[in-house]
Structure 1
Amino acid sequence: MQTILGANGPIGVELAKALKNYTDTIRLVSRNPKKVNETDLLLQADLTKREEVFRAIEGSKVVYLTIGFEYKLSVWQQLWPTLMQNVIDACIENKAKLVFFDNVYMIGGDNVKHMTEESPLSPTSKKGEIRAALNKMILDAIKTRKLQAIIARSADFYGAIKDKSALIEFVYKNLSANKKAQWLFNAKAKHSFTYIPDAGKATALLGNTPEAYNQIWHLPTDNQLLSGEEWIQLFAKEMDKSDKYQLVPAFVIKLASFFVPFMKEIYEMRYQYDRDYFFDSSKFEKFFNIKPTPYLVGMKETLEAFKQ
């Protein structure tokens, strides 16, 4: 049995679709799980509770942690370390392998200009400090407790999802409403995005490749370097909209953060948008001989999916 914790988020859904190529028994775990494949097993659980985590992982061969908590620092500080400790403990007790779907917040400052699996843990934000601590927990458990685990990292992602993607929120949704597209901090800076279907397929492949364990992997992401401005032009051309855009500079977000708490969360992560942000997945591509979906193709598939 292979189990997805946090199963109904965008990554969990794509992962479940891909896992049916590797196993006949998939368990989907969340507060309100919904089937992706007809044969999926559903388990309702509150994963903030230790006993629920152990119940969810019992009998699993591979556990995928894809849960996404509310994008709020206080929530992350309260919930993430405890959840990770419980998941590690339960995986070890059940002799299950762990695949952690992660972001790149633990890489900070100018290190985001070219991110590889060898990039140092260098957080420059509170959220980044939490992600670095989670990585360290897994790596320590691999070394000292014989945990078999993978850290699978993704850049910011895009695809046919309603939220949790800056590209969809600020570009697609505005253009769809005949408004100007928006971009944060610096529209001239290059920015990598991982295509969600690629991320789901690659995470399933990693989890079912014994040689991939006890390593960090960057999930396949097109290496074409597009700036925010060029992303807007790409969407605008395909959607037959104007490519004029509104830049939201740092001082505006800083000011808004005094009135809108969420803007404070955005301002803290500004280093990911005020300079080039390049996510290098060449390790994965070379090892598996797999190329990521080109941006133009992924964007067209995303727009087609939204139409349907």
Structure 2
Amino acid sequence: MSELHIIFGTGPIGRAIAEELTMRGKTIRMVNRSGKMDEAPAGVEILAANLYDPAQVRQAAQGAAVVYQAAQPAYHQWIEKFPPLQQAILEGLTGSGAKLVLVENLYMYGATGGKPMTEDMPYQAHTRKGKLRAAMSNAAFEAHAAGKLRVTAGRGSDFFGPWGLGSTMGERVFYPLLAGKPANLVGNVDFPHTHTYTRDFARALVMLGERAEADGQAWHVPNDNPRITQREMVTLIAEAAGVEPKFSAMGKFMMMLGGLFIPEAKESVEMMYEFDQPFVADSSRFEQAFGVKATPIQEAIRETVAWYKSHPQAH
């Protein structure tokens, strides 16, 4: 039997990790609350478990070489539910022998005034979710330093790709464009804004799981053209889809209005700084250490357009 790799969470990044591991011939178990998954990757076991319970974490991860933590609560429940989720996972994996690969974002750095984000940049989060992400990352690496388990982390920016529906560069952009309508963007569309391709994110996370030199630190996953703007993204998507590039952009005030009715919109208001200044991730450290570059962005967009065409929007 091949090496067992376990993925907590069956969202877009979890799926992409499973696809990458399948190509590498690994045995894969995915874990979520229901034990069910639409269009589950072939040959992948789907297991139901409560990941807030360290005992169930331990049971679900039995025999694993690597565990990828891609599970998360609903966006509007992060503050209350994310820390106990991670704590249960850290406790459950302590002493198991499995290496933990965390799926992280860039919130912990806060507003950088447009300066590209690097791994050695201090955490200066000014938002609730940014401070939460910083505290959670610190807690995980403290567990690593204490010898409880091996931990590494891959950090991506706002992502796009197959199944990445809920992202800012997700279904609110691709489906309207494919229908000849304006894409729905956020904030200033002409500032550089790094976008991470889900398949590049997954490939990087799997590499971090394989490589001992990745342990004990966080890495920015590779991104092609990290200074691309939202306007340029829409132009490339429209080009790949053979349609006119059209968009509208929602500002902070409209997001606040939306937040009166939609919990996720309310939680997004504090993150609008990402779209009111350049938001650029520097992934050169990963690329130099592991000799890997991101998929060219035009190719990544073509693959994503093909996925959206093959998964028409449900009405």
Same fold? TM cut 0.5: yes
The residue identity in structure 2 corresponding to 1:58 is Q
After superposition, the C-alpha distances for 1:54-106 in whole angstroms (9 at most, x for unaligned) are: 2112322211101132111xx21222111211211222221221110111111
In structure 2, the residue matched to 1:155 is 157
- Which sections of structure 1, spanning at least 5 residues, go unmatched? none
**1:47 equivalent in alignment to 2:30:** no
Give the total of aligned pairs: 304
Alpha-carbon distance between aligned partners in 2 of 1:232 and 1:113, rounded to the nearest angstrom = 24
The residue identity in structure 1 corresponding to 2:41 is V
Check the 8 A contact 2:220/2:286 in 1, yes or no: yes
The residue identity in structure 2 corresponding to 1:90 is G
After superposition, the C-alpha distances for 1:177-234 in whole angstroms (9 at most, x for unaligned) are: 3221222111111111111111111111110112211111111111342212111222
In structure 1, the residue matched to 2:189 is 187
166-175 or 15-24, which deviates more: 15-24
In structure 1, the residue matched to 2:41 is 36
In structure 2, the residue matched to 1:56 is 60
Alpha-carbon distance between aligned partners in 2 of 1:168 and 1:283, rounded to the nearest angstrom = 27
133-142 or 176-185, which deviates more: 176-185
In structure 1, the residue matched to 2:73 is 69
C-alpha change, 1:65 and 1:305, in structure 2 (3 Å) is same
Alpha-carbon distance between aligned partners in 2 of 1:12 and 1:94, rounded to the nearest angstrom = 21
Kindly report which structure 2 residues correspond to 1:235-254, keeping only aligned pairs within 5 A, or say none: 235-254=237-256
In structure 2, the residue matched to 1:260 is 262
Q: 2:122 aligns with which of 120, 123, 127?
A: 120
In structure 2, the residue matched to 1:139 is 141
In structure 2, the residue matched to 1:4 is 7
After superposition, the C-alpha distances for 1:35-65 in whole angstroms (9 at most, x for unaligned) are: 4242x33321121233222211232221110
In structure 2, the residue matched to 1:107 is 109
Q: 2:204 aligns with which of 202, 205, 208?
A: 202
C-alpha change, 1:298 and 1:3, in structure 2 (3 Å) is same
The residue identity in structure 2 corresponding to 1:213 is D
Alpha-carbon distance between aligned partners in 2 of 1:4 and 1:188, rounded to the nearest angstrom = 36
C-alpha change, 1:87 and 1:183, in structure 2 (3 Å) is same
C-alpha change, 1:11 and 1:261, in structure 2 (3 Å) is closer
Secondary structure at the counterpart of residue 101 of structure 1: strand
Alpha-carbon distance between aligned partners in 2 of 1:67 and 1:111, rounded to the nearest angstrom = 30
Secondary structure at the counterpart of residue 300 of structure 2: helix
Secondary structure at the counterpart of residue 98 of structure 1: strand
Check the 8 A contact 1:157/1:196 in 2, yes or no: yes
The residue identity in structure 2 corresponding to 1:109 is A
Kindly report which structure 2 residues correspond to 1:194-233, keeping only aligned pairs within 5 A, or say none: 194-233=196-235
Q: RMSD in angstroms over aligned alpha carbons? A: 1.9
C-alpha change, 1:27 and 1:244, in structure 2 (3 Å) is closer
266-275 or 251-260, which deviates more: 251-260
Q: CA deviation at 1:112?
A: 5.8
The residue identity in structure 1 corresponding to 2:6 is T
Alpha-carbon distance between aligned partners in 1 of 2:24 and 2:180, rounded to the nearest angstrom = 43
Give the TM-score, by structure 1 length: 0.92
- Which sections of structure 2, spanning at least 5 residues, go unmatched? 311-315
In structure 2, the residue matched to 1:98 is 100
Secondary structure at the counterpart of residue 145 of structure 1: coil
Alpha-carbon distance between aligned partners in 2 of 1:136 and 1:192, rounded to the nearest angstrom = 24
Check the 8 A contact 2:145/2:216 in 1, yes or no: no
The residue identity in structure 2 corresponding to 1:139 is F
Check the 8 A contact 2:72/2:82 in 1, yes or no: no
Q: CA deviation at 1:272?
A: 1.0
Alpha-carbon distance between aligned partners in 2 of 1:259 and 1:19, rounded to the nearest angstrom = 40
Q: CA deviation at 1:285?
A: 0.9
